[in-house]
């Protein structure tokens, strides 16, 4: 950990974020502009995210596969909106094995095209549908303004690609996977996301409809944290994904795609972190509990380490992800700061007095100072720890939800909208015309985030132009 002081969140949120990522050793800058190295602590967090999502994908009938990294340039051109959206961002391989390639290959920015091509080979009859495949992998998009986890040239994600025999089934799949993402975000990451539909301007290049989970970060900016797209027959027509239906007539399939990336790690950092560093939700934290043994004399050391070993064994048997900090070259205060920076949800302190009293000190990461400290008997420790981790998880979600709700506004007019989006989100009627969306963006830097799914049908007046509007939309500045 470097000694440079962490800026507070209110001083400089962006720099606070960058420093947190580096100091907690989640990630580091790579030697290629805009690329990152995800360090073991960050990758273990990603592995826990992967496990939580993968379990949900498999429970909803999906299987994993792997499609190639390199895609012929001509594939992208088969879907008009898709190529327009992605061509400015491509990394292109022009040389292979020392020779200039006849057709350049792109490093996949997303895989609808190559997967569409393969599905057209595999699908013949209605019996071959649905195909419910997910892929865990890396993609490359040549971003100009990059930020660790949030926007990097290469990032890691999963991309699900499904093909169905009916529009309704594909639309249901789109929303099913949005629900999976929301369930994961809320119940595993304690990130209270809002489910909604993207505007025409903001939708995925090639989609009929894009849905999203949007999260509010600690500076009130919105982060698109996962998306699920209904692609209609756009890619099925571009790649001839056709099947014989039960009447033996040839039909185009209906497809979806959905993705969640290492960007989500950014969501966790900026939802929960405080001026001391990361705060990780217990269900995803690489280390749930750190034990710091405290001693000065050799006699104390032996007694304290005996208890430490025993306690560690107990907690490990209870499947708690545990680290004991045995370092002797640094003092306990340094260790506290170090593990607070890394966001470990619960710290256990064991000193000579604790040995005597057959107790330990528990210190919650989410409640600094005395409020978060308690003394617990060594006998009932693992049950207490499990309960406390669950309490921390709940409490983190409650705090983030309260923060979000207190920063969602219902402005009465455009002037008030312009004001509230400087420190929050606006939920307002919008007529769905692009001019009004652009006006908000140009004058306030806020974009439309989503039409929340959870809204009553009704009618109001557009917050921008006053014309009739059928749906409310969230306006917010975003990452």
Residue ranges in contact with its own copies by CB under 8 A: 28, 30-32, 35-40, 42-44, 46-47, 63-72, 75, 87-98, 104-105, 107, 114, 117-118, 121-122, 127, 133, 137-138, 140, 142, 144, 153-154, 156, 329
The CB-of-69 to its own copies minimum distance in angstroms stands at: 5
Cβ proximity to its own copies, 126 vs 403, nearer residue: 126
The answer to whether 421 and 446 have CB atoms below 8 angstroms apart is yes
The CB-of-266 to its own copies minimum distance in angstroms stands at: 15
Determine the Cα–Cα distance for residues 144 and 157; give it in Å rounded to an integer: 20
Alpha helical stretches, state H, 319-409: 332-341, 352-357, 381-406
Q: Could you identify the residue written with the tokens 């001083």?
A: 11
Cβ proximity to its own copies, 62 vs 203, nearer residue: 62
Cβ proximity to its own copies, 69 vs 186, nearer residue: 69
The CB-of-285 to its own copies minimum distance in angstroms stands at: 15
The CB-of-459 to its own copies minimum distance in angstroms stands at: 44
The CB-of-387 to its own copies minimum distance in angstroms stands at: 27
Determine the Cα–Cα distance for residues 279 and 359; give it in Å rounded to an integer: 25
Cβ proximity to its own copies, 92 vs 383, nearer residue: 92
Any bridge partners for residue 469, and if so which?
460
Cβ proximity to its own copies, 151 vs 439, nearer residue: 151
The CB-of-404 to its own copies minimum distance in angstroms stands at: 31
User: Angle, to 10 degrees, between the axis of helix 167-187 and the axis of helix 40-59?
Assistant: 140
Any bridge partners for residue 472, and if so which?
429
Determine the Cα–Cα distance for residues 422 and 428; give it in Å rounded to an integer: 15
Classify residue 388 as left (phi > 0), alpha (psi -120 to 50) or beta. Answer: alpha
Cβ proximity to its own copies, 50 vs 384, nearer residue: 50
Cβ proximity to its own copies, 36 vs 217, nearer residue: 36
Which class for 154: exposed (0-12), middle (13-18), buried (19 or more C-beta within 10 A)? middle
The CB-of-419 to its own copies minimum distance in angstroms stands at: 36
Question: Could you give the C-alpha distances from 182 to 51, 54, 222, 226, 352, in angstroms and in order?
Answer: 15, 14, 15, 9, 46
CA 465, 472, 408 angle in degrees (round to 5)? 105
Sheet holding 63-64, edge to edge: 63-64, 131-140, 154-164, 254-261, 222-230, 209-216, 194-197, 447-452, 471-476, 425-430, 408-409
Cβ proximity to its own copies, 33 vs 367, nearer residue: 33
Cβ proximity to its own copies, 144 vs 383, nearer residue: 144
Cβ proximity to its own copies, 38 vs 341, nearer residue: 38
Q: Could you identify the residue written with the tokens 């569409």?
A: 116
Which residues are within 8 A (CB) of 28 and not within 5 positions of it... i.e. 6 or more apart? 22, 36, 37, 39
The CB-of-196 to its own copies minimum distance in angstroms stands at: 30
The answer to whether 215 and 225 have CB atoms below 8 angstroms apart is yes
The CB-of-161 to its own copies minimum distance in angstroms stands at: 12
The CB-of-226 to its own copies minimum distance in angstroms stands at: 20
Residue 478 DSSP symbol: B
């Amino acid at each position: 950990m470097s000694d440079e002081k962490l800026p507070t969140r209110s001083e400089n949120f962006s720099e606070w974020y960058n420093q947190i990522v580096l100091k907690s050793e989640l990630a580091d800058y790579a030697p290629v502009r805009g690329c990152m190295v995800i360090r073991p602590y960050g990758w273990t967090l990603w592995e826990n995210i992967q496990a939580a999502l993968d379990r949900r994908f498999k429970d909803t009938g999906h299987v994993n596969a792997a499609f190639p990294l390199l895609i012929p340039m001509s594939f992208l051109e088969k879907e008009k909106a898709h190529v327009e959206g992605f061509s400015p961002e491509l990394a292109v391989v022009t040389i292979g094995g020392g020779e200039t390639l006849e057709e350049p290959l792109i490093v996949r920015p997303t895989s609808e095209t190559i997967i569409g091509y393969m599905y057209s080979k595999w699908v013949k009859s209605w019996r071959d549908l649905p195909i419910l495949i997910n892929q865990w992998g890396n993609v490359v998009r040549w971003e100009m303004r990059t930020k660790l986890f949030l926007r990097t040239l290469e990032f890691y994600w999963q991309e699900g690609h499904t093909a169905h025999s009916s529009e309704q089934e594909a639309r249901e799949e789109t929303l099913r996977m949005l629900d999976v993402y929301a369930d994961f975000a809320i119940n595993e990451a304690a990130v209270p996301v809002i489910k909604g539909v993207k505007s025409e301007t903001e939708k995925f290049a090639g989609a009929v409809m894009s849905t999203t989970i949007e999260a509010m970060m600690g500076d009130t900016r919105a982060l698109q944290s996962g998306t699920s797209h209904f692609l209609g027959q756009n890619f099925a027509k571009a790649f001839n994904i056709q099947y014989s239906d039960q009447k033996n007539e040839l039909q185009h399939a209906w497809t979806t795609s959905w993705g969640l990336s290492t960007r989500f790690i950014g969501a966790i950092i900026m939802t929960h972190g405080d001026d001391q560093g990361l705060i990780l939700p217990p269900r995803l934290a690489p280390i749930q509990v750190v034990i710091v043994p405290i001693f000065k004399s050799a006699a104390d050391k032996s007694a304290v380490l005996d208890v430490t070993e025993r306690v560690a064994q107990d907690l490990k048997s209870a499947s708690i992800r545990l680290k004991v900090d045995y370092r002797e070259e640094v003092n306990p205060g340094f260790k506290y700061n170090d593990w607070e920076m890394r966001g470990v949800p619960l710290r256990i302190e064991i000193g000579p007095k604790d040995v005597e009293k057959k107790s330990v000190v528990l210190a919650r990461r989410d409640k600094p100072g005395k409020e978060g400290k308690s003394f617990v008997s060594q006998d009932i420790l693992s049950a207490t720890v499990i309960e406390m981790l669950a309490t921390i998880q709940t409490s983190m979600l409650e705090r983030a939800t309260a923060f979000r709700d207190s920063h969602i506004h219902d402005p009465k007019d455009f002037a008030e909208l312009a004001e509230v989006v400087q420190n929050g989100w606006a939920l307002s009627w919008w007529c769905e015309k692009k001019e009004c969306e652009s006006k908000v963006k140009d004058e306030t830097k806020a974009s439309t985030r989503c039409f929340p799914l959870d809204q009553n049908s009704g009618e109001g007046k557009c917050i921008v132009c006053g014309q009739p509007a059928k749906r409310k939309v969230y306006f917010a500045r975003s990452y």
